[in-house]
Amino acid sequence: MTNQQTLNPEDPNSLPVVTLERVIDAMATFDVTLDKIEGRDDSATANLNGLPCLFAVLDSVLIVRCDVQTDATFSQADAGLFLAANQINSVQMGARAAITDFDDSLVVRTERDIPVAAGMNDTQLAAALKAAVDGVIGAQNAMVAAAEEMAKLGSEAANQAQNGE
């Protein structure tokens, strides 16, 4: 990574601006190829561990996001999925989880923001990206486990209620 563009070229202590090209270069050090989104100069994607991940560089923040579409519709949403997201958000996972609605289908979104307004050197950028990717993927995996546990607890509670226990 050789981008030497700084926030203030006259200040030798100024940190380099975080650009999509620098993010692509940083992820390449982890043997991950990011594909730029056609028609956009601020976003790229990659499939990481079978999960679709988005990398977006905005003015002051770099977003690492993973959206996984479910089979459930919003109208038939299971509360367990929302409880699982709440459980993930109540512990330090390195990313936050949310349940969103897209085309009447529920989507499990995990996301981490990296503040970049002050710039970052290459080492800082690579470390922040590694932590963000690990957090986003870890939170997706934790969502699967938590949702399964919530469904199991819901099923047990329904059986107990049905049996009058």
Let me know if residue 70 belongs to a domain.
Answer: yes
Let me know if residue 48 belongs to a domain.
Answer: yes
**Residue 25: closest CA among 48, 2, 57:** 2
Q: Structural domain of residue 62, as residue ranges?
A: 20-159
Task: For residue 52, give both structure tokens.
Answer: 């679709």
Q: What is the mean pLDDT of the chain?
A: 86
Let me know if residue 1 belongs to a domain.
Answer: no
Task: For residue 20, give both structure tokens.
Answer: 């999509």
Total number of domains constituting the chain: 1
pLDDT digits (tens, 9 = 90+) for 27-48: 999 999 999 999 999 999 999 9
Give yes or no for a contact between 17 and 59, defined as CB atoms under 8 angstroms apart: no
Let me know if residue 124 belongs to a domain.
Answer: yes
Going from the first residue of the chain to its last (165 residues), give the mean pLDDT of each consecutive group of 10, the final group possibly shorter.
56 84 97 96 95 95 95 77 88 88 89 94 96 95 83 64 67
Q: What is the CATH number of the domain that holds 108?
A: 3.30.1460.10
Let me know if residue 132 belongs to a domain.
Answer: yes
